[in-house]
Structure 1
Amino acid sequence: MMHVDWDWIKQRPHFIAEELSHFFDVQVFCRTYPSSLLIKASHKTKTNNVNVHHFYTLPFCFKKGIYWINKFYLKVYFWYFLKKYNPEFLWIPFPTLYEYIPKKKYKIVYDCMDDYTEFGFDKYYNERIKKCEEKLINDSLVIFTSSENLYKKLNEKYYAKIKDKILVVRNAFDGLVLNNEIEEKKRDTKFKIGYVGTVSSWIDFELLERTLEHFKEIEYHFIGPVYPEVSELTLNERIIFHGPVEHEKLYSFVKDYDCMIMPFKLSDLIFSVDPVKLYEYINYNKPIISIFYDEINRFSPYVNFYSDESELMEVLKNLIIQNFPKKYSNEERIEFLEKNTWSNRVSQILEHLM
């Protein structure tokens, strides 16, 4: 089950479903998103063993009345399909999905990939998330978290229930190591700094705009779905949005970029994120800039970190002067990537399923 559309930008649930399909017949049930946020062409799966089913919810599905209507309809929907496919395992990455499951003993896997109550939902929906997560925790055969911070938080809340069935399975990259070389940049053109991922309120656009005032030779390019709270902003013309792009075509967009960036605003939500994009950025063989927080300290050999505005200004100044060098060698890049594939992660998962 997925709380994101299969045609959403490719994330942890997509990659894990594809890798698990080498060992299981995988039926993916995913919520349909508005078409404006989706990839224009559907993701191609790596095997023929992933079958994708879309389910629909009424608009404003987080509101109390609509939530209960959706719950009633989806319980019937999943009763039918679970009876049809009779799965050995149910993979659930978002707590409220568990409300749609009929009362029957399934082998439940809870894959906790975010601190869900920090997304800014209203009070009612946050309470539903908490109640569903507690029940999901109690009923799960095994619990995976994508970060150490999530592991710590779940242990603090549910230690007695989960102490023997929880482990960290971090994010990764898709396994195809790109054969790419960095070309020297001509100084008579602007330096392009790229971001790949969801473009929402967690991007620090105010900080980026101040860097553009200071450095006239840079521009920012954003690839990914743009949420309304961002699309309504009036931003510097050197902040350019390209919309969502198929995962297989991403490198053709970023290959001419001089640097990649992860300019998040720090929050409790971000502190629990193990960003897929940092793994992908390393595969792109580009210099990388990112806000620092403890969860991603292990990326230090590859990433130019900053903690505040003055540090970001200093990082940019040095990179511009030096024509945007990388911190890491190609050998270090390949060694890192070989250890951090989705195939390796699913091998960890299988040890606890088989």
Structure 2
Amino acid sequence: MDIIIYPPTINWTFMKQRPQQLMKKFADSGYKVFYCNQTQTEKDIEEISPNLFIVHNHDQWLKEILPKARKNKKVGIWCSWAKLASTLKKYEPNWIIYDCVDEFADWIKYEPEMVKIADAIVCTAERLKKKLQNNYPTKRTELIRNAYDQEMMLHENSKDIIIPKKKIGYIGAWAPWIDEELISRLARTLNYVEIEIIGIEFGKKFNLHHIPNIKFLGHKPHSELPNFLKNYSLCIIPFRINPITLATNPVKMYEYLATGHPVVSTNLPECYLAQPYVDVANNHVDFINKVRNRLQNPGNSLERKQFALNNTWSHRVNQAIHLIREISK
């Protein structure tokens, strides 16, 4: 099989996200994948699973290892950071796919150069697809949403899980797009329910320690998340509505649904499209009422699990492989 390179963007061990999920599935499908860490060290290249290599010393790898590995093989670039466009020619790729994952204002200025050199664009949300097709009508653009990681085994029934009391969970970055006021109102209104928050502080400090039924656990390794998720009664996506979140297809939505728990979200377009499996609220009062209702009447857990199982990273990488085959003929 051919080679796929993910150029230096985020470290492999920094929050398991879309890049890591896709690269692992590409490797499982037979591609030889080189995932280049952003932080470079003198450490040798590391094969962490069959066909999946972490590149720690990028310059040495580029000079000594890649030329040998690419013999009689096509080399493709899967890039999710438009700022890297000017650096990609050094890989001498046969094809480039630009994976547009967010609508961060600081990234958009780099986008035209990336789109110009890309053979195709993929994106994670319908809003992004419409914007990209409008801005670059001649460039092939495909919608490949985020997905559920079956290896988390969240869809499996756990007989030993006992939920002693009602508990609401949020897992994700504590970032500027979190509606802190909504969480505060939810906690005070439903003061008999514990709200547990797991995630790194990302451009925003956690300031709700004074509310007794909110517990902030900070970052937890991805491998530990199933133990927390399975203990929740309900999961929330409490995002503000802004250009970033309007174009967000939350990975956590799929992971939440895989547990079978009810999921309540603010009015995000991608969550709206996931109805009836996700309950979408129009305002704070509506959000709190929907949470209260689902705590009393959880609804159909099997249908939520099936939605997640119909939207796995294996499904997404099959879409991506079909695209790669077409652009690399």
**Contact conserved, 1:148 with 1:295, CA < 8 A, in 2?**
yes
Pairs within 5 Å for 1:41-190:
47-54=49-56, 80=63, 83=67, 85-86=69-70, 88-102=75-89, 105-106=92-93, 107-117=95-105, 126=106, 129-160=107-138, 162=139, 165-176=140-151, 177=153, 178-180=155-157, 189=165
Pairs within 5 Å for 1:218-237:
218-227=193-202, 229-231=204-206, 235-237=210-212
d(CA) in 1 for partners of 2:299 and 2:60?
51
d(CA) in 2 for partners of 1:131 and 1:313?
38
Q: CA deviation at 1:144?
A: 0.7
Q: Within the alignment, does 1:348 sit opposite 2:287 as a pair? A: no
d(CA) in 1 for partners of 2:182 and 2:261?
22
d(CA) in 1 for partners of 2:212 and 2:87?
45
Distance 1:9 1:103, change over 3 A: closer
Q: Within the alignment, does 1:30 sit opposite 2:32 as a pair? A: no
Match of 2:21 among 8, 15, 40: 15
Distance 1:335 1:215, change over 3 A: closer
Q: CA deviation at 1:184?
A: 7.8
Q: CA deviation at 1:212?
A: 1.9
Distance 1:305 1:232, change over 3 A: closer
d(CA) in 1 for partners of 2:25 and 2:217?
29
Q: Within the alignment, does 1:198 sit opposite 2:173 as a pair? A: yes
Per-residue CA deviations over 1:65-115 (Å, capped at 9, x if unaligned) read xxxxxxxxx9x6786475565461011011012232345752111111111
d(CA) in 2 for partners of 1:243 and 1:234?
12
Q: Within the alignment, does 1:327 sit opposite 2:299 as a pair? A: yes
Q: CA deviation at 1:180?
A: 1.8
Per-residue CA deviations over 1:216-262 (Å, capped at 9, x if unaligned) read 11222111212352246655232222222222321112222211111
**Contact conserved, 2:12 with 2:54, CA < 8 A, in 1?**
yes
Letter of the 1:281 partner, please give it.
Y
Q: CA deviation at 1:334?
A: 4.2
Match of 1:250 among 225, 248, 261: 225
* Structure 1: stretches of 5+ with no match in the other structure: 34-43, 56-73, 118-125
* Structure 2: stretches of 5+ with no match in the other structure: 1-6, 41-46
**Contact conserved, 2:176 with 2:203, CA < 8 A, in 1?**
no
Partner of 2:130: helix, strand, or coil? helix
Distance 1:232 1:31, change over 3 A: farther
Letter of the 2:22 partner, please give it.
I
What is the percent sequence identity of the aligned residues? 28
Per-residue CA deviations over 1:33-62 (Å, capped at 9, x if unaligned) read 9xxxxxxxxxx95x322111247xxxxxxx
Q: Within the alignment, does 1:284 sit opposite 2:259 as a pair? A: yes
Distance 1:103 1:77, change over 3 A: same
When the two structures are aligned, how many residues end up with a matched partner? 304
Distance 1:319 1:103, change over 3 A: closer
Letter of the 1:328 partner, please give it.
N
Partner of 1:3: helix, strand, or coil? coil
Distance 1:184 1:306, change over 3 A: farther
Q: CA deviation at 1:298?
A: 2.5
Letter of the 1:48 partner, please give it.
P
**Which gives a bigger RCO, structure 1 or 2 (Cα 8 Å, sep 6+)?**
1
Q: What's the counterpart of residue 3 of structure 2?
A: none
**Contact conserved, 1:225 with 1:244, CA < 8 A, in 2?**
yes
Q: What's the counterpart of residue 235 of structure 2?
A: 260
Partner of 2:196: helix, strand, or coil? strand
Q: Output the TM-score relative to the length of structure 1.
A: 0.77
What do you get for the CA RMSD once the two structures are aligned?
Answer: 2.7
Partner of 1:203: helix, strand, or coil? coil
**Contact conserved, 1:9 with 1:224, CA < 8 A, in 2?**
no
Partner of 2:110: helix, strand, or coil? helix
Q: CA deviation at 1:138?
A: 1.3
Match of 1:316 among 271, 282, 291: 291
**Contact conserved, 1:79 with 1:102, CA < 8 A, in 2?**
no
**Contact conserved, 2:170 with 2:197, CA < 8 A, in 1?**
yes
d(CA) in 2 for partners of 1:137 and 1:78?
26
Q: Output the TM-score relative to the length of structure 2.
A: 0.83
Partner of 2:97: helix, strand, or coil? strand
Match of 1:295 among 266, 270, 277: 270
Letter of the 2:181 partner, please give it.
E
d(CA) in 2 for partners of 1:279 and 1:94?
23
Distance 1:32 1:224, change over 3 A: farther
Q: What's the counterpart of residue 62 of structure 1?
A: none
Q: CA deviation at 1:326?
A: 2.6
